[in-house]
Amino acid sequence: MKNLNSVPLNGLRAVEAVGRLGGLGAAAAELGVTPGAVSQQIQKVEQQLGTELFIRHPKGLAVNCVGELVLPHLTAGMAELSMALAKASEPDSSVLVVSVAPVFASKWLVWRLKKFYDAHPLIRIRVDATIALVDPNTSDVDVCIRVGNGPWPGQRLSKLLDQRVFPVCSPAIAEALKQPGAIRTVPVIRDAGARFDWDLWLKPFGLTAADLCEGPTFSDASLCLDAAIAGQGVFLAWETLANDALAAGQVVAPFEGRVSTGASYWFITRNHSFKTKETAEFERWLRAEMALSFDMA
Q: Average pLDDT by consecutive 10-residue portion of the chain (297 residues)?
A: 72 88 86 90 90 86 87 79 64 77 94 95 92 80 88 81 96 95 96 92 93 94 96 97 96 94 92 76 96 82
Report the pLDDT value the prediction gives residue 84, as an integer from 0 to 100.
65
Report the pLDDT value the prediction gives residue 121, as an integer from 0 to 100.
93
Any idea what the CATH number is for the domain that residue 189 is in? 3.40.190.10
- The domain in which residue 196 lies consists of 163-262
Q: Give a yes or no: residue 53 inside a domain.
A: yes
Query: What pTM, to 2 d.p., does this model score?
Result: 0.68
Q: Per the structure, how many domains does the chain have?
A: 2
Q: Give a yes or no: residue 39 inside a domain.
A: yes
Same domain, 168 and 258: yes
Q: Give a yes or no: residue 8 inside a domain.
A: yes
Long-range contact list for 204-212, CB < 8 A, 24+ apart? 204/259, 205/180, 205/181, 207/180, 207/181, 207/183, 211/184, 212/183, 212/184, 212/188
Report the pLDDT value the prediction gives residue 138, as an integer from 0 to 100.
77
Any idea what the CATH number is for the domain that residue 25 is in? 1.10.10.10
Q: Give a yes or no: residue 234 inside a domain.
A: yes
Q: Which of 89, 117, 145 is the last residue of a domain?
A: 89
Q: Phi, psi at residue 44, to the nearest 5°?
A: -65, -45
Q: Which residues pair with 57 in a beta bridge?
A: 60
Q: Give a yes or no: residue 130 inside a domain.
A: no
Q: Give a yes or no: residue 287 inside a domain.
A: no
Q: Give a yes or no: residue 272 inside a domain.
A: no
Q: Which of 72, 89, 106 is the last residue of a domain?
A: 89
Same domain, 80 and 170: no
Query: Is residue 189 within 8 Å of 251, Cβ to Cβ?
Result: no
Report the pLDDT value the prediction gives residue 239, as an integer from 0 to 100.
95
Q: Which of 58, 89, 120 is the last residue of a domain?
A: 89
Q: How far apart are CA 211 and CA 228, in angstroms?
A: 19
